[in-house]
Structure 1
Amino acid sequence: MNFFLETLKVLGLSTYYLLESLVFFVVPRRKKNVSGETVLITGAASGFGRLLSLKFARLGATLVLWDINQEGLKETVRLARENGALRVHSYICDCSKRQDIYRVADQVKREVGDVSILVNNAGIVTGKTFLNCPDSLVEKTMEVNTMAHFWTTKAFLPAMMASNHGHLVTIASTAGLCGATRLSDYCASKFGAVGFAESMDVEMKTLGKNGVKTTTVCPYTMNTGMFDGVQNKWPHVLPMLDPEYVAEKTVTAVRQNQEMLILPRIIYFLLVLKSILPTKASVVFLDYLGVLHLMDTFKGRPKKE
């Protein structure tokens, strides 16, 4: 009898949540107010991190900006203030170093207070084939793109759990959902970030901390300079994304407590195909879309940046 009742419960809840997601697909969810929230953004000195900083600034959030690039960070602070931020705090932090993260996190808690929205955005890409990628770069990629999420979350999650209020935001990539050539270390790091975020979401629900939300963002390549030189085979199908558009969608997803955001939307369909097609057929399909040779023309962000 318990098995029968448990099965009915699962079927009923699954149907309900499926219908709920379909409704939210048509009717936008209510957006929460982030004014007064303390938002920490890693990798805020340029690119996507800077855009997110400005978006949250306009919404009245208190900003805590981290980066290793001091000059870029100063510029982001200036722009954030121009965009209405009343409280902006910047810190130099090397997100590839666990002790540096813990040290700066303690400083933030002393000087600013508890962080209520943590945006793990800092990331790097090497763009080399596996055997041509030096061990040091592989380690660096994993440290910045994956392990940093562990340490920042360990630093700021306890306060969120204590108040049952907070939000963990993971800026990942579609490379965290599908492997690609010349991106072995990057894909591994982003798969790790996606898995960690999903585990945190499940763990918070299991522990009854439903006030601590998670949002994982998986965009295709963005025109931020990080993937400079990359050319898409069919740009009308898989375009190089406008970072301004992705930033707006990301902030909206956070405000609507959306667990997963994948851009462009066609990726959802491609992921379904990947899950049901034989591996060889998936490779043929990826080749057709140009994904297998996406990084052949990769140059990366200019050194001066």
Structure 2
Amino acid sequence: MIDVNLTSHFWTKTVFLPTMKRLRKGNIVTISSASSLLPFAYHTTYTATKFGATGHMKALQLELAVEKQHDIHVTTVMPMFLDTNDEVSELAYISKVNRLYPLIRGETVARRIVKGMLAGEREIKIPFIVDLLHRILNLLPLSWQERLVLLFASNMFLSYKEISLNAKIPKQ
């Protein structure tokens, strides 16, 4: 999980960024996760790798600004649950998250990413409620943030724990 979700971004940057810098243009798009903004209990490895990918892109954006590489654009995508992975779909249905939040189709996300990339967006949060929740929570003291997340999501987290323990979803 660490290699796929985090290390791969470093390798990709190493391969493509020098040419982009030489040409003074390009787009780097990273698929992170809403978990990098709103962490998921019992999915610590996944959450940590997505925090890392998001942080990597923020630092890269600063590096490009320092180097005055204004025509190389960095976009970080932070989606919630997508229907592109059978294990995630199963998790959403078993935990009943899909009743509150319908899974987003991969094609819908792909269109949104291209639109955002072409518009120069640095971060794309899907759905918009993720951005709103993140911004509101960050206005509050940490203890309040945790209390609110636990109030609204502790049952969901416990169902994730139970599902993970019962095995189709890989344990972390």
TM range (shorter): 0.7 to 0.9
Match of 1:227? 88
Match of 2:150? 283
Unaligned runs of 5+ in 1: 1-140
Does the 8 A contact of 2:42 with 2:157 survive in 1? no
Higher relative contact order (CA 8 A, sep 6+): 2
Aligned mates of 1:238, 1:189 — CA distance in 2: 23
Match of 2:109? 246
Aligned mates of 1:183, 1:201 — CA distance in 2: 27
Match of 1:262? 125
SS at match of 2:88: coil
1:212 aligned residue (72, 80, 84): 72
Aligned mates of 2:120, 2:87 — CA distance in 1: 27
Does the 8 A contact of 1:160 with 1:166 survive in 2? yes
SS at match of 1:214: strand
TM-score (structure 2 length as normaliser): 0.82
Aligned mates of 2:159, 2:18 — CA distance in 1: 43
Q: Give, as a single letter, the amino acid of the residue that structure 1 aligns with 2:110.
A: A
**1:293 aligned onto 2:154:** no
Match of 1:145? 5
Aligned mates of 1:253, 1:295 — CA distance in 2: 34
Does the 8 A contact of 2:82 with 2:89 survive in 1? no
1:166 aligned residue (8, 17, 26): 26
CA 1:258–1:178 in structure 2 vs 1: closer, same or farther (change >3 Å)? Answer: same
Instruction: Render the CA deviation track for 1:153-173: whole Å, top value 9, x for unaligned.
Output: 011101101111011110111
Does the 8 A contact of 1:201 with 1:214 survive in 2? yes
Instruction: Render the CA deviation track for 1:93-147: whole Å, top value 9, x for unaligned.
Output: xxxxxxxxxxxxxxxxxxxxxxxxxxxxxxxxxxxxxxxxxxxxxxxx1111101
Percent identity, aligned pairs only? 26
Match of 1:195? 55
Higher helix fraction: Structure 1 or Structure 2?
A: 2
Does the 8 A contact of 1:222 with 1:243 survive in 2? yes
CA 1:205–1:215 in structure 2 vs 1: closer, same or farther (change >3 Å)? Answer: same
Aligned mates of 2:9, 2:42 — CA distance in 1: 23
Aligned mates of 1:228, 1:295 — CA distance in 2: 16
Aligned mates of 1:226, 1:254 — CA distance in 2: 28
CA 1:223–1:276 in structure 2 vs 1: closer, same or farther (change >3 Å)? Answer: same
Measured after TM superposition, the shift of residue 234 of structure 1 is 5.1
Matches within 5 A, 1:124-135: none
CA 1:149–1:223 in structure 2 vs 1: closer, same or farther (change >3 Å)? Answer: same
Measured after TM superposition, the shift of residue 205 of structure 1 is 1.2
TM-score (structure 1 length as normaliser): 0.48
Cα RMSD over matched residues?
2.2
Does the 8 A contact of 1:170 with 1:217 survive in 2? yes
Q: Give, as a single letter, the amino acid of the residue that structure 2 aligns with 1:276.
A: L
CA 1:166–1:185 in structure 2 vs 1: closer, same or farther (change >3 Å)? Answer: same
SS at match of 1:262: strand
Aligned mates of 2:121, 2:47 — CA distance in 1: 23
**Structure with the greater alpha carbon radius of gyration:** 1
SS at match of 1:230: helix
Runs of 4+ with deviation above 4 angstroms = none
Measured after TM superposition, the shift of residue 274 of structure 1 is 2.3
Unaligned runs of 5+ in 2: none
Does the 8 A contact of 1:172 with 1:194 survive in 2? yes
Match of 2:135? 272
Does the 8 A contact of 2:74 with 2:122 survive in 1? yes
Number of aligned residue pairs: give it: 160
Aligned mates of 2:99, 2:132 — CA distance in 1: 16
